[in-house]
Structure 1
């Protein structure tokens, strides 16, 4: 499979399929720094990024906002002193879609 970060998100409608168990395993291996968290029955991808200070955390947050807008897929973002928690899931399907793994891979690129 190609690098997830090179793919584009597809429009995700309310009837779009969630990732299968096999896809979940396969895609998770492509973004191993991310964990799957289940909140209120909804699987979400999450990663905490660490920074030396608040300014660097905000710079990362702003870059992430630009990437999210470009693909029209938006994460949960918690920006704090020295860290940013990013959470991806597809709101319309209340779970994980391939788009979430694509965006996790794109998020990883912001720190490389």
Structure 2
């Protein structure tokens, strides 16, 4: 099981991650797109990195908005895995 990060580690990693916020024990971001089709195209691009990492985000879709939430469920909070996947997701357009 992945090890939980300390509050100091979380803040340090979050400060270096643009577009993401820490909300309790979760790392979150929202992307807005022109329309539903573009939102779905983006969501489909998340499959490969999530599968490769063996770490899957919670995804909410509302027409042209996609909200991504990362947390390591089996560890009960944020781990390095969450920040690594967030970095990969940040590079997807």
RMSD: 1.0
Q: Write out aligned runs for 1:27-106 (5 A).
A: 27-38=13-24, 43-106=25-88
CA distance in 1, matches of 2:67, 2:21: 12
Structure 1: segments with no counterpart, 5+ residues: 1-12
SS of equivalent to 1:91: coil
SS of equivalent to 2:46: helix
Give 1:32 deviation, angstroms.
3.1
Report the number of matched residues: 93
Stretches of 4+ aligned residues off by more than 6 angstroms: none
Structure 2: segments with no counterpart, 5+ residues: none
TM-score (norm 1): 0.79
TM-score (norm 2): 0.94
